[in-house]
Structures are given as C-alpha cells and as structure tokens.
Amino acid sequence: MPDAPPPARTDAKLRRWLDLLLALLSRRRGLTFEELKLEVPGYGEPGVGEATIRQRFERDKRELKVAGIPITCDDESETYSLKGTDFYLPYLTLVVDGQRHGPPKVEQEGYRGLGEVAFDQEGLLLIKEAATRAAALGDPLLAEHARDAVRTLTLYLPLDSVEPPPVHHAPGPDRIPDALFRELDLALRTRKRVRFLYHGMQDAAPRAREVEPYGLFFLGHHWYLAGPAPGEAQVKNYRLSRMSAVEILQRGSPAAAFQRPASFKLREWAQSKQAWELGTGDGEGAVVEFRGGSGPAHAARQLGEAIPGAPDRRRFVMRRPEVLARLLLSFGGAVAPVEPPALVAAYRALLAATLAAYEAPDA
C-alpha cells in the first residue's frame, strides 16, 4: 500500500497554530520557547535546525498577531503568553425588560474573566437589518460573510425572534383615474379648454370650473393642473384628486385651440410654489414676524418678501392659511403670524390644540 502523501504546508501551519494557541491558553503563566517546543510538535521536527524552528515560530507569532491574536512577550523572563480575555469573544446577552438572557457562563480556567456585551432589542434588530442589507449588495464574498455572522450570532442570541416595529408610512400620491390623466393629456396636446367639477377646500360642494390647461406637475404627494380661467391672466393650481367629470370643450374644432404664453415655464412655475401658495383662490398677503435667529428660521426668512421699515417681518402670498400656520408653529415661537386675521386665528387654534394634547392626563 503506498505511503500517504505528505500533509500540505497550509495544513501543517494550521496544526502548528492550533497547538501553539492551545499551549498558551492552557497556562496561567507564560512559556519559554524551549517549553513551547515540547508542547508544539511542529517546533520539534527531527533534522530541522534551531534557527529554522525559531524563524518558523516568529513567523507564526507575527501572522497570528495580524489575524488579531495578541501573543505577548515578557522580555525579562523571555516567556510568551496569551490571555483568554484577549482571545475569546465576550458573552453575548439580550436585555429585555431589565432581564439578561444569554448562554450559561463556563467556569473553567481561561473563561472566568470573560466580559459581556449586552444588546437591547433595538440594537439586535439593527444588526439583523445591517446583515440583510450587506448580503443584498451583490458581492458574493460579502454576502457569505454576512450570512456566516448571522449564523454565529444565532447560536447565542435570538435573532429570529426580533421583529421590526410597525412602520407608519407617509401618505402616498393621490390615486388618479387613468381616464382623467388621458383626458387632460389630450387637452394639453391639442390646447383645448377643459370643464370639470372641482371640490375646493373652502367649497361646501363641487363647483364647475373652466380652465385653459398650461401643464401638469407633481408636488408634495399630489398632482396639479396649472392654468387660468378663460379671459383671465392669473394662473391657478387645481389638485387632480379634487376633480371629477372632466371634459374637453370643442374637442373637434382646431380653431378653438388657445395659445399658451411663451413666457410660461411649467418647471419654473412648479418649483416656485410653496405648499401654502397652492390653491385656486386669489392669493392673499400674509405678514410674518421673525423673532429668533435659528438656522431654520433664517432659511424661512429667505422665502418671503422684505417689508420696508420692518426688518424682522416678511410678506408671503398665501392661499391656504392652515398650511402656513402649521409651518409657523413648527418654529417653536421663533416665527409668528401678524396678519391677516384668518392666519393668526388658524395659528392660535393649532397652538391651543397642541398644548391641550400635551397637557392632557395620561389615559
């Protein structure tokens, strides 16, 4: 029977490393090189010179240090040692309602001094989500490492039992019927007026409107139609979700096409609108006073028009007082409305409701 092939060099090195680690971890005191040669068979091969053995040991020690295993040397006694606390991972525990849950501690030599890393459920969930995202990046090696890490942690921590908290999604875009989009698209391409029922925020019931459609744009989760009423110059915005019964007027008459002013740029129009400016009513001037110098307040100041003789006040065009009032309230008193009365009343009502909500006794 033929002799077995000699072990590969990497296998011999791995055995040497394991023997070296076992020898160091099983002793409280350090070991001299001569003692290590007796403990590690790879350092006592017959026929191998002392210098070669020493070089092999120094190389092993250096490579293990690079791998994160800190074998230390006491120059005075010429001994080598490895503390269990520097080699073994700490105990991993999960803290739930102040109670720690984890594997039982080992009371053997080398394990007693091990530390502990405690996770709460939120921290454990972050680790789980991070591993999932890392595995989804498309790098096979990174994905395998992420899965290995999760498998290892699952041995000690209940990763499978950790569930993310409920997610509250912000309102999505309005669901507009395809037929309404198609009708408005045709009206835009043929430059025809449209008639529709519109239920404005201040309307008790839908009212009929006629508009020369200049364009459609999307802003703040909603679709809007921009255009003036026939014979008017002022462009207004109409939210599509408030429209119904849309029809194109004089659909088959080329002569009925209107001309959109060349100066009107839909992109510029849409980007210039703030939430409180959107609406179909006539814009109303609103005066706001800036009482604080915070960064957000300074940024908001730039949106308004300066008022001569009143450096701390700005004028805004407003169609929706309740929207502007909510924005002003978010500055925590650094910005406040001055006029018109409708805006001041909306602001005070929101302030009172907010205070009442926070002052209400717990149920």
| Residue-wise pLDDT tens digits, 144-161 | 888 888 888 877 777 766
- Residue 207's pLDDT is 93
Residue 192, number of CB atoms within 10 A of its CB: 21
Residue 344: CB partners within 8 Å, gap ≥ 6? Answer: 337, 338
Per-chain mean pLDDT for the chain: 81
Q: Any idea which of 60-64, 142-146, 347-351 has the lowest mean pLDDT?
A: 142-146
Q: Any idea which of 173-177, 311-315, 316-320 has the lowest mean pLDDT?
A: 316-320
Do the Cβ atoms of 130 and 150 come closer than 8 Å? no
Residue 230 has pLDDT above 90, yes or no: yes
pLDDT band with cut points at 50, 70 and 90 for residue 27: confident
pTM, rounded to two decimals: 0.38
Cα–Cα distances (Å) from 87 to 29, 64, 101, 283, in that order, read 16, 11, 23, 72
Considering only residues 263 and 302, tell me which one the structure prediction assigns the higher pLDDT. 263
Q: What is the mean pLDDT of residues 256-268?
A: 89
Residue 209 has pLDDT above 90, yes or no: yes
pLDDT band with cut points at 50, 70 and 90 for residue 214: very high
- Residue 174's pLDDT is 67
- Residue 37's pLDDT is 86
- Residue 213's pLDDT is 96
Residue 9 has pLDDT above 80, yes or no: no
Residue 192 has pLDDT above 50, yes or no: yes
Residue 5: HSE in the Cβ half-sphere, 13 Å Cα cutoff: 4
Contacts of 65-71 spanning 24+ positions with Cβ under 8 A: 69/21, 71/24
- Residue 186's pLDDT is 94
The two tokens of residue 249 are 């007027």
Residue 172, number of CB atoms within 10 A of its CB: 7
